[in-house]
Amino acid sequence: MGTSLKKVAKKAKDYKYVLLVMRHAKTEPFGDGGDAGRELTDKGRKQAKAVAKGLVTHKMAPTRIACSSATRARQTCDRMLKVFGDDPKVDYRQSLYEGGVQSVFDELAQTKEKHRELLVLGHEPTVSIACQWLASSESDATLLDLLNLGMSPASLAVFGSNEPFNQWQLHSGELIALLTAKDFE
């Protein structure tokens, strides 16, 4: 029951601005290093690379990335950058690790209009709750219901809008798709 990346990319092209909200890839269980120091597993590294390849293949690679400063999010981003190359501007933020939903809205507010594809890479439950708050009334109710369950590792929500990110408020983007790591395999 996978989602067609081709169809998602085609629908995203209907919008001037595309927001990607992603949960970091699969990580090791809690250990001595504390939560912020948890690292990706081999599966997580493969997930991050597969998501990046899928985004590039379907011309949905971001021009800016706002990434949590936690180790697992940075490692997810690093794996993706190996596929994306030098193009995306990356900002690592402690606030995306500990700041909750407001940190996602802060990233939108700080994004310049020239950036039309933004990736926010963070953690649960912040990413799924932020997605619920961002989703407009045009969004598919089934996708919104799925967000209530939370986003699994390496999941990606895709939003579209014709408004620049720095003008987004509550319910500003159409939730186009909710993709899991398996959709990129």
Q: Apex CA 105: angle with CA 109 and CA 90, to 5°?
A: 70
Q: Which amino acid is at 85?
A: G
- What pLDDT, on the 0 to 100 scale, is given for residue 49? 98
Residue 34: the pLDDT is 84
For residue 133, the SS3 value is helix
Residue 57's pLDDT is 96
Average pLDDT along the chain, 185 residues, taken 10 residues at a time: 84 97 94 85 98 97 97 98 93 96 97 97 97 95 94 98 97 96 93
* Alpha carbon distance 162, 150 (integer Å): 27
- Beta strands 117-122 and 17-23 are parallel
- Per-residue pLDDT at 86: 84
CA 104 to chain centre: 10
State which amino acid sits at residue 28: E
What is the homologous superfamily of the domain 5-184 according to CATH?
A: Phosphoglycerate mutase-like (3.40.50.1240)
Per-domain boundaries in the chain: 5-184
Gyration radius of the chain over CA positions: 15
**Residue 179 β-bridge partners:** 156
Beta strand 117-122 with 64-68: parallel, antiparallel or unpaired? parallel
What is the token pair recorded at 50? 């597969």
Contact status, residue 128 vs residue 150, Cβ threshold 8 Å: yes
Look up residue 93 and give its DSSP letter: E
d(CA 53, CA 5): 11
